[in-house]
Structure 1
């Protein structure tokens, strides 16, 4: 138990560093790592409260940089709806299948980022696709705890500058996790023990965020991003192989 808690805290610290650096990506690190020790169901539940707290803080911190509120509201509302139905899927699907899904999503995210680094989406088309993209991201967030293959990829393709990207995706994540939290309680996946660990996990997560902001200025976004991608690749393979 002590080992699993220590690994979970390290995972949240790493996730906080990534979030502080680029504004997103925390669940892509935290959920696969904690899934190894807690199982996917509890890993998703464990992540919700720290994610909700950190995204509220980051959305508020960068709130003045939101320009197109209609675009953001489409993502927020559809993401929340998707997260509710995704949580129902989480409660119904077997753990091994979810482990394979989480690992596959992480691999997809790594592969897409490496193979299509310059892919972009016209902003007018992106506004039209905001609602379905938010819905799909919410479904992934609720069912597997990871929405990055859709949410991060979609907003990255729009080429939003960092100061707009961070509040946009943070608002979206806030909506999804705000719906996830009571939904997880309702389906019986949020125990008092998981809730207690979640509260403690907020400490390394918030501690890592300013470290990430400093680190990204020192080593550069590209090198830092490549290091994270390599780590995710190893974690994803571990999850998939462990479930097969």
Structure 2
């Protein structure tokens, strides 16, 4: 793990968090995806994931608390959330043995899958009976992807979208799922990728991340949402393809 960060590296990290925060402010998600996707081009994915822990945790806690549906969501989603913790911790225990190129390729595959779902994914719907069986499996898969890549969106986002939640409940459910993922990932990385210098930089990255979110919220009123989503997912697909081909 890096003991010191140069001014150039810190500037790159700050700019990345502004961009990632802007994406989250515009579409409600994407901060870890953008951070790990971009910084993963110039550093190990585990280090990039460690840098996003504090900003992601704080913004997702705020998103989780902003609504009255939390008790209902916890009652419905706890099997999925418990499985996320188990999958993240289980696969995370294998990370020290994983080669950097393998982790980079896994991140590239996750970004491509997320981009493909965002661009062409079908609208899935799960009934109560199907959800009882699919929830734990989706949680284990989400935890494994999170531990391997630092990105918690697949298959978390399509699974939660398939539950047919109301718009505000879906936003709160995403915040809850990402909070659990980030907390567990932070525990896995603590003392390794998430060492003292990296934790300090991660804490400092809260400022550009929040500034980006505020900018994104303002731009949301002016930028066409459909065009932005197309550009966002196309950029993720390019990043993912580059990681798969170059790593």
**TM, length-normalised to structure 1:** 0.89
What are structure 1's unaligned runs of at least 5 residues?
none
Residue of structure 1 equivalent to 2:199 = 195
Q: Name the structure where helix makes up a greater proportion of residues.
A: 1
8 Å Cα contact 2:65-2:172 kept in structure 1: yes
**What's the offset of the Cα at 1:18?**
2.1
The CA RMSD over aligned residues, in Å, is 2.0
Answering whether residue 211 of structure 2 is matched by residue 207 of structure 1, we say yes
Alignment of 1:6-155 (within 5 A): 6-62=11-67, 64-66=68-70, 67-116=72-121, 118-124=122-128, 125-155=130-160
Aligned match of 2:222:
218
The Cα offsets for residues 78-102 of structure 1, whole Å up to 9 and x where unpaired, read as: 2222221232233221101111110
8 Å CA contact 2:73–2:173 kept in 1: the answer is no
Quote the offset at 1:159 in angstroms. 4.1
Contact 1:22-1:166 at 8 Å conserved across structures: no
Q: Tell me if structure 2 keeps the 8 A contact 1:52–1:178.
A: yes
Partner of 2:190, secondary structure, is helix
The alignment of Structure 1 onto Structure 2 pairs a total of residues equal to 240
Whole-Å separation in 2 of the counterparts to 1:220 and 1:80: 36
Question: 1:155 touches 1:165 (CA, 8 Å); kept in 2?
Answer: yes
How much has 1:31 moved relative to structure 2?
0.4
Partners in 2 of 1:242 and 1:4 — Cα distance?
A: 21
The CA distance in 2 between the partners of 1:160 and 1:214, in whole Å, is 26
- What is the Cα deviation at residue 127 of structure 1? 4.5
Give how far 1:23 is off: 2.5
